[in-house]
Amino acid sequence: MANYPLFVAAILFLAAFTQSLSGFGLALVSMALLPHVVGIQMATPLVAVAAIAIEGVLLLRYRQALNVHAIWRVVLASVVGIPVGIVWLRYLDERIVLIVLGVVIAGYALYALLGLRLPSMQGSLWAYFTGFLGGMLGGAYNTSGPPVIVYADGNRWEPSEFKSNLQGFFIINSFVVMVSHLVVGNITPEVWRLFVVSLPAIGLGLLAGMTLDRWVKPAVFRRIVQILLILMGLRLIF
């Protein structure tokens, strides 16, 4: 596929746009599409690298509402879970990985679309459990978000705190994932090349999302994204 860098750039534009507008969805969008273009082995480290840039910009935007006390246990547990996920990725058949990824994406999107809410998830055990699970998913598929977003919902975080805390979690998680991929040799020169080629598209996606954030209701946009993610997840499964 001679033009596949253009497809990669377009997908990362959409992922950056989604994350900047709604506060999450970068990995869910990119990992639903990129494996079809470059394969799961290249898509996972590529998204890890792109996530550092995207989440860094967004963390600067939401930094005033960041509550470190609310997320440090989640972050600590995720750091422990990341290596487990990376090892899992290296030794599983790619088809199995894609099916599991599809289940994760479709399952989370359906949960969010139906507006389901868990009872209050106050307490350290919930933080450690969701953080570890998020770390595993982040290490294997770059989809650390769903368990932590469920945890955030269970703790009834206010919208500004919700966005800022998620960016704080995401960027630390993404950094550890990226370093882990560097150590095991998953970040190849081709991964760096695709990232550099996609930087203008990533910048445009961030700018578009942050601009439209003032005009489009995030709740409406999230509904659209959730429906698309269910369809994308089902496509990965079947």
Query: What pLDDT sits at residue 118?
Result: 62
Query: What pLDDT sits at residue 110?
Result: 86
Mean pLDDT is highest, among 11-15, 71-75, 99-103, 168-172, for 11-15
Instruction: Choose between 208 and 95: higher pLDDT.
Output: 208
Name, in order, each residue with C-beta under 8 angstroms of 93's C-beta and a sequence gap of 6 or more. Answer: none
In whole angstroms, give the CA distance from residue 144 to residue 175: 12
Query: What pLDDT sits at residue 12?
Result: 97
Instruction: Choose between 93 and 206: higher pLDDT.
Output: 206
pLDDT surpasses 70 at 94? no
Which residue type is seen at 230?
I
Backbone angles phi, psi at 2, to 5 degrees: -65, -30
Query: What pLDDT sits at residue 24?
Result: 82
Asked if residue 74 lies in contact with residue 169, where contact means CB atoms within 8 angstroms, the answer is yes
- The pLDDT tens digits of the residues spanning 140-199 come to 777 787 788 878 877 877 777 877 898 889 888 888 878 888 988 889 999 999 999 999
Query: What pLDDT sits at residue 54?
Result: 94
Range of 132's domain? 4-237
Q: How many domains does the chain have?
A: 1
Average pLDDT over residues 63-83: 88
* DSSP, residue by residue, the chain: -TTHHHHHHHHHHHHHHHHHHHS--HHHHHHHHHHHHH-HHHHHHHHHHHHHHHHHHHHHHHGGG--HHHHHHHHHHHHHHHHHHHHHHHHS-HHHHHHHHHHHHHHHHHHHHTT--PSP--SHHHHHHHHHHHHHHHHHHS--HHHHHHHHHHTT--HHHHHHHHHHHHHHHHHHHHHHHHHHT-S-HHHHHHHHHHHHHHHHHHHHHHHHTTTS-HHHHHHHHHHHHHHHHHHHH-
Average pLDDT over residues 91-117: 80
Query: What pLDDT sits at residue 66?
Result: 85
Q: Which of 35-39, 67-71, 127-131 has the lowest mean pLDDT?
A: 67-71
Query: What pLDDT sits at residue 62?
Result: 81
Query: What pLDDT sits at residue 2?
Result: 55
pLDDT surpasses 80 at 82? yes
Query: What pLDDT sits at residue 188?
Result: 92
Q: What is the pTM of this model?
A: 0.80
Q: Which two tokens stand for residue 51?
A: 């996530």
